Amino acid sequence: MTGDNHGPDPAGLIPGHAGVAGRRVVITGAGRGLGSVLAAAFDAAGARLALVARSKPALEDVASRLSGDHLVCAGDVRDELFNDTVAEQMTERFGGVDVWIANAGVSREDPDITRMSAAAWREVIDTNLTGTFLGARAAAARMGAGGRIIVTGSVLGDRPHGRLAAYSASKGGVHALVRSLAQELGPREITANAVALGWFETGLGSFWQRDEQREQDIARHTALGRWGTDADLPGVYLFLASPAAAYITGTTITVDGGYSLL
C-alpha cells in the first residue's frame, strides 16, 4: 500500500552522505578496527559523534584524524551506568541522540567446549550481547521519532562455527534482540536493525588472517572470492541511519560478499 502525502522529504533520500548530516550518532567500539572506519565515514557525512571505547588514548587518536568536534567517551559497554552516562553527555553536548551504533565486540577462538571457562563465556556474552542491550536501553530512553538503533551482528549468528560458541551465541542473540526492539519501539517511530558482517580484513576478522590457510579457505568460500575491506563497510550503516531507511526495522542485513551462499 502506498500513500501520496506521507514520508520524508525526497531531498533526504539522496544516496550518500546527505541523509546523516547533523545527525547525533553514538558509535561504540570506535577506538579501532571497524568502529574507527565507521567514525571516519560518519564524520565525513557531517554527523555529530560520540566515540566510545575502553581506551581513551585510542579514541583520542581516532578523533584527531576527524574533522568534526566530537565527544570522546572512554569506558566499558558492559557497565550500565556508563551507557547511561554516554547518552546523557551526548544530550548535554548536542541536544539528544538520533543514532546508536552498537559495534563494540570481542571474539576469540574457544577451546574445546568441555574446557571453556564460564569466565571466558561471560566476557564475550556480556560485551557483545549485554553491552548491546544496555546501549539500546540508554538510547531508547532519550530518542524521539526517527531514532535509529543499529547493531553490528555477524554471519556466525545464523551459521555458527565450532570453537566459536560464545561469539556465535552472542551474535545470534543480538539478531533476535533487534527484532524484539523493533516491535517495542516501532510505535515511537524508532527503528532497530542489525548488520551481519562476514569476514573483514579490519577489526576482529584480522585475527583469523594470521592463519594463511584459513584466510584462503574463507576467500574461496565467499562468492566474491575475497575478504571485505574498509570500503565495503560504511555504506549500509550510513543507509540505515538515513531517512531512506525509515521503513526498515527488525531486520538483519547481511554484508558478507556472498559467504552465506556457499
Residues acting as catalytic residues: 167
Nearest CA to 99 out of 229, 233, 245, 256 is that of: 245
One-letter identity of residue 244: A
Nearest CA to 168 out of 255, 227, 103, 109 is that of: 109
CA–CA distance, 216 with 209 (Å, rounded to integer): 9
Phi, psi of 24 (to 5 degrees): -95, 110
Quick check: 250 and 193 in contact, CB under 8 A?
Answer: yes
Sign of CA dihedral 106, 107, 110, 114: positive
Quick check: 149 and 142 in contact, CB under 8 A?
Answer: no
How is the beta sheet containing 148-154 ordered, strand by strand? 71-74, 48-53, 24-28, 99-102, 148-154, 191-197, 252-255
Q: Grid coordinates standing for 49? A: 559523534
Strands, E assignment, the chain: 24-28, 48-53, 71-74, 99-102, 148-154, 191-197, 252-255
